[in-house]
Amino acid sequence: MSIRLDPRRVNALKHLAGQAGVRPGDLVRQWVEERIDASRGGDVAAPGAPSLVSVVEALTARVTALEAVAGMPTAEPSAPQVEGEVGVETAGEAAVPSEAEAPKRRRKGVSAASSSERVALHDEMIAVLRERGPMTAGELAGAIAERGRYLPPRSNKPLDAAMVSQRVSNPTYRSRFVRSEGRIGLAD
């Protein structure tokens, strides 16, 4: 099952899921299960746990606060909701939208403002290579991680030698780097 959300709501959902230490789809599944259980009159909450209504109200207030901090106007109910998509997993089904449902999006070089400015991997690679000279992909990945300026954009997968090697091989960045004797250096 797939649902479409306004991009601001998707970002808020990702933020809330990050705070809870779960994936966004898992958080949505949890909310849906709680709502279904509550509508059945089932025993969903442990004794002393907050009611579902109070939790939803608190989450709504947090989303509104996040939107205000980000300087985004709150979404109107009639706003089109086609940009972000969240997969919701049902028993036995994968949370993967079909090809027809998945929106095709490309970054245009303009990204949403973040709390701290992101450093592109290739820029960080260039900076490290200028400081330390040619290195293997593994050494370069370690040096970049050591500096702590680069954060993987969409996944929380840590930077590794394969990611560095892929960036060097990418046709867009290939002219900036050279490989020689298993080491990566800067092109002249």
82 and 144 in one domain?
no
Q: Residue 126: inside a domain, yes or no?
A: yes
Q: Residue 171: inside a domain, yes or no?
A: yes
d(CA 141, CA 150): 10
Strands (E), the chain: 2-5, 84-87, 177-180, 183-186
Q: Which of 140, 165, 163 is nearest to 152 (CA)?
A: 163
Residue 21 is predicted with a pLDDT of 85
Residue 157 is predicted with a pLDDT of 79
* Domain CATH number, residue 134: 1.10.10
88 neighbors 10 (Cβ within 8 angstroms): no
81 and 126 in one domain?
no
**CB within 8 Å of 165: residues ≥ 6 apart:** 137, 184
Q: Residue 63: inside a domain, yes or no?
A: yes
Residue 125 is predicted with a pLDDT of 92
Q: Residue 113: inside a domain, yes or no?
A: no
Q: Give the total number of structural domains in the chain.
A: 2
129 and 172 in one domain?
yes
179 and 128 in one domain?
yes
78 and 20 in one domain?
yes
**CB within 8 Å of 115: residues ≥ 6 apart:** none
Could you tell me the residue range of the domain that residue 176 belongs to? 121-186
Q: Residue 94: inside a domain, yes or no?
A: no
Tokens 């040619």 found at = 134
Residue 139 is predicted with a pLDDT of 92
Task: Residue 13: count other Cβ atoms within 10 Å of its Cβ.
Answer: 21
**Does the predicted TM-score (pTM) go above 0.85?**
no
Mean pLDDT per 10-residue run, the chain (188 residues)? 83 86 86 83 57 78 79 52 45 44 46 60 91 92 88 77 89 90 89
Q: Which of 105, 102, 103 is nearest to 94 (CA)?
A: 102
Task: Residue 84: count other Cβ atoms within 10 Å of its Cβ.
Answer: 19
Residue 152 is predicted with a pLDDT of 77
